[in-house]
Amino acid sequence: MESKAKFLGHPIHQMLIVFPLGLLATAVIFDILSLLSHDPKWTQMAYYMIGAGLVGGLIAAVFGFIDYLAIPTKTRAKRIAAFHGMGNAAVMIIFALSWLLRSTPDTSGNPGIMAYILSFLGFALAGFTGWLGGELVDRLSVGVDRGAHLNSPNSLSGRPATENDTNTLTRNRQTAAGD
């Protein structure tokens, strides 16, 4: 099933999810550094990473929802996509709560244990929903061009993925035959 929201021939959702996932994961790393070092600067940096991750996640979600609407009903892909989307909505809520708790740290700059717990929980859930996203693309071909294959033409060529490059196919046959 091809993506309905593309830029330069590639699914926008798949391009955008790397930003919120990376930013939120970085926030968790900063939280760990903060807990180990007792240095509030790491918590402050995590606060900004979470804020940016939330913005990026909302933008990516718009394009994910567009693709979700195009998945045929009563399919495994639709069910997995629903869990993926709901799970990511939960990730966003969990990190938003962690972010809000950080907006009023105590006098030492510590946001409190609940802010840390929420970021770790959100990270674990994001790992699972990321796996579901991989299941959608890698196993169920959601967002993959119809007829895509190892010798598909460049997405910027304007040619369909199903088109065969006869020169490449001839070379591959010759190589396989030992010519």
Closest C-alpha to 98, from 120, 70, 80: 120
pLDDT at 160: 80
- Confidence band for 148, pLDDT divided at 50, 70 and 90: confident
Per-residue model confidence as pLDDT tens digits over 57-82: 999 999 999 999 999 999 999 999 99
Residue 10 carries which side chain, given as an amino acid letter? H
Crossing angle of helices 40-70 and 76-102, in 10° steps, is 150
pLDDT at 145: 77
pTM (two decimals)? 0.83
Crossing angle of helices 113-134 and 76-102, in 10° steps, is 160
